[in-house]
Amino acid sequence: MARRYDPERRQRIIDAAIRVVGERGIAGLSHRAVAAEADVPLGSTTYHFATLDDLLVAALRQVNTVLFEDLGRRAERIAPDADLAGELADLVGESLTEKRDRSILEYEIYLTALRRGPVRPIAAECVDGMVDVLSARTGRATAQALVALIDGISLQVLLTGRDYDREQARAMIARLLD
């Protein structure tokens, strides 16, 4: 039997892995679950990604790419004389409301690096990428502090279920920017 040419299969598998994590969490990620979601044979997932860590690395890279593109576009639209603290507070608020499911997915994949060494460099790329985008406006040290603060605020809201307080976030961000 001839092998069917399917140049998009690897990408479909990555997309399926992201959907599986989004729906079931990291604990629900398996080659079998991803194969079913991507509608490909189980052997295809292990052919393209020998381990789940390999699959997580590819998924996190894709999630990072979308995050950096969104953040970069948003940063470009901020006027030089705009209230940067307010703009960043709005961005955080948007990620915790309209894009909440996406933020949960991003942090879930990102935090797997705590226990999965192969994922750690990709999580570091996420932090560094966010710092790179912000440092154009703030300088590197301030951008690093902002990313840490934004991650802290975001995780606290996502983990506790508390409402996001835009004014409090804006005040904290403004302190770092001063």
The three-state DSSP-derived secondary structure of 16-29 is: HHHHHHHHHCHHHC
Q: Is residue 77 exposed (0-12), middle (13-18) or buried (19+ Cβ within 10 Å)?
A: exposed
Per-residue pLDDT, 110: 85
What confidence tier does 3 reach under pLDDT thresholds 50, 70, 90? low
CATH architecture designation of domain 58-177: Orthogonal Bundle (1.10)
Q: Percentage of the chain with pLDDT > 90?
A: 66
DSSP state of 4: P
Alpha-carbon torsion, ordered 49, 51, 57, 62, to 10 deg: 40
Tokens at 3, concatenated = 């092998």
Residue type at 75?
A
Q: Do domains 1-50 and 58-177 have the same CATH topology?
A: no
In tens, the pLDDT along 8-63 reads: 999 999 999 999 999 999 999 999 999 999 999 999 999 999 999 999 999 989 98
Q: Is residue 41 exposed (0-12), middle (13-18) or buried (19+ Cβ within 10 Å)?
A: exposed
Q: Round to whole Å and give the CA distance between 12 and 162.
A: 35
Q: Round to whole Å and give the CA distance between 142 and 146.
A: 6
Listed by start position, the domains of the chain span 1-50, 58-177
pTM score: 0.84
* Assigned CATH topology for domain 1-50: Arc Repressor Mutant, subunit A (1.10.10)
Q: Rounded to the nearest 5 degrees, what angle is found at the Cα of 151, between the Cα atoms of 67 and 27?
A: 75
